[in-house]
Amino acid sequence: MDSGAYIRKHGGVNREPAEIVEMLLDRVVAQLRVAIPWRPGARELLASVNQAEIPAALVTMSWKRFADQVIDCLPPKSFTVSVTGDEVTAGKPHPEPYLLAAQRLGVDPRDCLAIEDSPTGVRSALAAGCYVLGVPHVVDIPADLGDRLRLAPSLQGISVDDLVRLTCEEPT
């Protein structure tokens, strides 16, 4: 609601903060229904993970209402579970989101591989004990955040076998 209060105060919008946030979410969701802005290689990799019947979790700090709309636009069963920002007490970079995702999947987080696009997300997954494939988007990801981190410029050409290999590597 902080963003709604900020917009109300500085943007001159004469509505309650919760109403402002709902209006913004409605607009974003409407745009997603037209087209999801896929990162290169993401659609193909998600399909391969799904085809290999590997359980997958969407771990996002977006609100559940928003994340559920994104999931509804994806092929069925793309994600086994999801964890959203409004479902956790401490968001990224705290490990709670990834610990909850692993719990919902019924697996040890140390056996999980997270694909992350931000330093904050990478820190969260590493703190939970996950292997991490960092694919920078807007902000560069430092390579020295942890032994379980590997970086790639994009997901283009990355296969399920590549992901499995990442979880079998010995820390450097």
Q: What is the pLDDT of residue 1?
A: 46
Q: Are residues 79 and 7 in the same domain?
A: no
Residues 11 and 70 in one domain: no
What per-residue confidence (pLDDT) applies to 19? Answer: 78
Residue 63 φ/ψ, nearest 5 degrees? -70, 150
Q: What percentage of the chain reaches a pLDDT higher than 70?
A: 85
* 95 and 162 co-located in one domain: yes
Are 60 and 84 spatial neighbours (Cβ–Cβ below 8 Å)? yes
Mean pLDDT of 23-33: 72
What's the number of domains the chain is made of? 2
* Domain identity same for 29 and 56: no
Do residues 100 and 160 share a domain? yes
In whole angstroms, what is the distance from residue 78 CA to residue 52 CA? 11
Rounded to whole angstroms, how far apart are CA atoms 80 and 70? 14
Q: Is the pLDDT of residue 85 over 70?
A: yes
Q: Which domain holds residue 13?
A: 2-33
Q: Is residue 79 located within the same domain as residue 164?
A: yes
